[in-house]
Amino acid sequence: MLRLTVPIPDEEIRALHVGDTVYLNGVIVTGRDAAHKYMIEHFIRNEPTDPEDIALHEKLKELLNGGVIYHCGPVVRKNDDGSWSFVAAGPTTSIREEVYEAEVIKHFNLKGVIGKGGMAGKTLKACQEQPAVYFHAIGGAATLIAQSVKEVVDVYKLDFGVPEAMWVIRVEDFPVVVTMDSHGQSIHDRVQAESEERFKTLVG
């Protein structure tokens, strides 16, 4: 089991290959459909002009430079002192972000994307160019994964709703598997190709 600390240097990303199991440590950011659409429309394809957008853009550039974004819609609890805790933190399906992810990876110099189900060609190409990797988290283990979240550092765009907000979290030994690497390899593509061949065999 490898241990990586965010921000992750390029050489450590290039050393990863599909099938590697990793414990992630450090500060990462959650982001789903609303967050990705927002980043594309307000930061990447258009220059931010609103002061709040400008401030958030600068903060995200700092957090995501060499960093990791997690496709997650958490269940959270607000504590008596006003702080937040994660109750459940399972991954959500990543392919919905395929239309956005390559641009987000490039713009923010992302090194990792966490989710479930894998992604497609545009993201895989971005992983090669950046470099970056796709980390597969364990579906159905939301409560277990939440135990890796040691602190909610901040939250942005809470007006999107709790699942779609951008939660800044500090994780310790967050368990993931590399399923798309910076060398053009994708376990998801391999499984699909093998499944199609098996299907052809079965149906004659």
Active-site amino acid positions: 36
Question: Whose CA is closest to 53, among 156, 165, 162, 152?
Answer: 156
How far lies 195's CA from each of 76, 95, 98, in Å?
Answer: 38, 18, 22
**Measured between alpha carbons, how far is 92 from 32 in angstroms, rounded to an integer?**
8
Helix (H) or strand (E) holding 38: helix 33-39
**Measured between alpha carbons, how far is 45 from 60 in angstroms, rounded to an integer?**
16
Q: Which long-range contacts (CB under 8 A, 24 or more apart) does 128-131 make?
A: 128/182, 128/183, 128/184, 130/13, 130/105, 130/106, 130/182, 131/10, 131/13, 131/14, 131/182
CB 63 within 8 A of CB 27: yes
